[in-house]
Amino acid sequence: MKRWIGVGLALLLAGAVVVAIVLGGGGDGDGGGGTKDLATVRGVIGSEKKPFFDDPQVQAAFAKHGLRVEVDTAGSRQIATSVDLGKYDFAFPSSVPAAEKIKQDRKASQTFSPFYSPMAIATFEPIADVLTKAGVVRDSGSGYQVLDVKKYLDLVAKGTRWDALPGNTAYPARKRVLLTTTDVRTSNSAAMYLAITSYVANGDDVVNSSAQTAKVAQTISPLFLDQGYSESSSEAPFEDYLAMGAGKTPMVVIYEAQYASHLFAGDGAIRPDMRLIYPSPTVLSKHTLVPFNDRAAEVGRLLQEDPEFARLETRYGFRTADPKVFADLVASSKAGIPGGLVDVVEPPTYEHLERLISTIEQRYLASAKPSS
């Protein structure tokens, strides 16, 4: 009898182990997390969002909803024009114009804009002081500084160099006063800078005709061509700013979120002499997801509507539909970032923005040809 009782207990124990393995997912080779059952959704995104999607907490939040989200990166213009979108379930460029082009081309029925970021300028206190004396930078009256884009364009038109600015002993560099950007032919952050400068060069109005494009291009092309080599990704020039200082990158056009994410993290990357100022006017880079199927639409819905994702997005410096989430993080981290911006303009439509970029691209090609 004892022998049969022992056999019965052994069988019960074995059965319990099998049930535990099945319920725990330990038999599917995924380390017991059950991730083999997650639906994989693939997307192509702007590079500035890659750290967010790579965050284990973000991945875990998607997993709660049965999703594994995998992403590749490309410039927003590339996503809209040259990337093979047939390999992906969604596209997530960093601007509405690019997203609208993708939506039309792919005949998508909806888009999601879960977060946005104003365009800003990362610089240093001595640089801001020099430009304040030159009348280009001023106080907004709301706790942050702004760069007057019209006065800045006047400096560029004259070919002004840093060492020619009156009273400039802090940064007497023998190079032109120019904002560093990414390559406007590939990157959205440069395209948003183009939207700002074209608005001002067009008499404070959005470019909306071929005639305006041709006229404005005369003024704004040097902003890009005179920089020399430009990086294709928005992360690269910002990393140079953080690592190499004013000698390499005195002023760089960035997404506010890039700077804010380091302040919120308190990781020491933003040093005491660094400053974030805002172009006046500025534009909002509205990160817009275009889904190509129902699973991708669920990704967009979660990013836009789920409070957990809103908190995670704000940690990376993005502003969401709920301004209080961002404001609370600014207050708790004591980050010197404005709660809101007033001097904001709209970018041109995709067609007119593309025409501006193509005009500048032609000038790039013309300048690269050897003289005969």
Query: Could you read off the pLDDT of 213-235 as tens digits, one per residue?
Result: 999 998 999 999 998 888 877 78
Q: What is the mean pLDDT of residues 315-326?
A: 94
Mean pLDDT of the chain: 88
Summarised one tens digit per residue, pLDDT across range 107-153 is 999 999 999 999 999 999 999 999 999 999 999 988 899 999 999 99
Q: Which domains, and CATH codes, for the chain?
A: 10-113+287-321 (3.40.190.10), 118-284+342-368 (3.40.190)
pLDDT digits (tens, 9 = 90+) for 34-86: 556 899 999 999 888 999 999 999 999 999 999 999 999 988 888 999 999 99
- Is the pLDDT higher at 190 or at 365? 190
| The pLDDT of residue 364 | 80
Instruction: State how beta strands 112-124 and 252-255 pair.
Output: antiparallel
Model confidence at 5: pLDDT above 50: no
Q: 1: buried, middle or exposed (CB in 10 Å: 19+, 13-18, 0-12)?
A: exposed
* DSSP codes, 217-286: HHHHHHHHHTT-S--SSSHHHHHHHHHH-TTT-SSEEEEHHHHHHHHHHT-S-S-TTEEEEEEESB-EEE
Q: DSSP per residue over 122-163, as a string?
A: EEEHHHHHHHHHTTSEEE-SSSSEEEEHHHHHHHHHTT-BGG
Residue 24, pLDDT > 50, answer: no
User: What pLDDT sits at residue 36?
Assistant: 65
pLDDT at 258: 94
The CA-based angle 344-219-150, given to 5 degrees, is 40
Cβ-based burial of 363 (10 A; exposed 0-12, middle 13-18, buried ≥19): middle
pLDDT at 29: 38
Q: Over 80: is that where the pLDDT of 179 sits?
A: yes
Distance CA 78, CA 172 (A): 38
For residue 353, how many other CB atoms are within 10 A of its CB?
24
Are 137 and 148 in contact, with CB atoms under 8 Å apart?
Answer: yes
Instruction: Supply 75's token pair.
Output: 């410039």
Cα–Cα nearest to 131, from 117, 118, 121, 141: 121
pLDDT digits (tens, 9 = 90+) for 232-266: 777 889 999 999 989 888 999 999 999 999 999 99
ω into residue 126 within 30 of 0, thus cis? no
Confidence at residue 336, expressed as pLDDT on a 0 to 100 scale = 83
256-265 vs 323-333: helix axis angle to the nearest 10? 50
Please measure the distance between the N-terminal and C-terminal CA atoms of the chain and give it in whole angstroms: 105
Q: Could you give the angle at the alpha carbon of 264 between the alpha carbons of 263 and 267, nearest 5°?
A: 60
